């Protein structure tokens, strides 16, 4: 059985007030002390990979510090909010109250208009993490990604309902540490959960 330690890092803050999914907003990386602490906390020989959105690639650049870098992966992106992108909750609620209420209270299958559901995001992100782990057996992986993607991997590891995991904070520049145990191509991996939402 091969294992990978995963260090899931949420990108730096964007300061956007609306729902940010696939919109390519830069991160505020001005807190150099926080970035220094984060990089120092991560394993020195870990492989670094990120979502292809600039808030993640920029954060990965800032914490890489000589670690090997893998190509950006668009399948590590945040959930796609479609027509809700960059809009505030109150605006969307005024326009489409039933759908946005269901999106948060009964998550899984509900899609924003022209967007994707939580389950669809999970499927692509799960597959991306599995591909990375199997391509680099035994390696430590620093994955710089998004709130939803990280929350989805924690949900996967804990095997809890989506409604339960939605209460978990994932702060900008935090680390969530999981160990993925590969049981073979046909089997769902096993998981161990370490620190969650840790701010070095």
Q: Using DSSP, state whether 171 is helix, strand or coil.
A: coil
At how many degrees (to 10) do helices 118-135 and 147-158 cross? 80
Cα–chain-centroid distance for residue 71? 16
How are beta strands 47-50 and 190-193 bridged, if at all? unpaired
Tokens of 41: 């906390």
Q: Which helix (H) or strand (E) holds 144?
A: strand 141-145
pLDDT band at 182 (very low <50, low <70, confident <90, very high): confident
- Per-residue pLDDT tens over the stretch 31-70: 999 999 999 999 999 999 999 999 999 999 999 999 999 9
Contact 78, 31 (CB under 8 A): no
Rounded CA-CA distance 53/51 in Å is: 6
- Per-residue pLDDT tens over the stretch 109-149: 899 999 999 999 999 999 999 999 999 999 999 999 999 99
Which residue ranges form the domains of the chain, and what is each CATH number? Answer: 2-193 (3.40.50.1240)
* pTM, rounded to two decimals: 0.94
């Amino acid at each position: 059985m091969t294992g990978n330690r995963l260090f899931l890092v949420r990108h730096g803050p964007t300061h956007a007030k609306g729902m940010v999914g696939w919109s390519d907003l830069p991160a505020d990386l001005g807190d150099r002390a926080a970035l220094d602490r984060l990089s120092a906390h991560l394993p020195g020989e870990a492989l670094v990979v990120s979502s292809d959105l600039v808030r993640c690639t920029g954060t990965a650049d800032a914490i890489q510090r000589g670690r090997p870098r893998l190509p950006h992966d668009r399948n590590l992106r945040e959930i796609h909010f479609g027509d809700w992108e960059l809009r505030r909750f109150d605006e969307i609620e005024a326009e489409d109250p039933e759908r946005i209420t269901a999106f948060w209270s009964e998550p899984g299958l509900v899609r924003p208009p022209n967007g994707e559901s939580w389950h669809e995001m999970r499927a692509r992100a799960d597959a991306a993490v599995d591909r990375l782990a199997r391509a680099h057996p035994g390696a430590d992986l620093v994955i710089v990604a998004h709130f939803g993607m990280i929350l989805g991997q924690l949900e996967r590891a804990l095997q809890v309902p989506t409604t339960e995991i939605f209460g978990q904070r994932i702060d900008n520049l935090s680390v969530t540490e999981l160990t993925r145990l590969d049981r073979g191509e046909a089997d769902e991996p096993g998981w161990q959960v370490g620190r969650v939402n840790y701010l070095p």
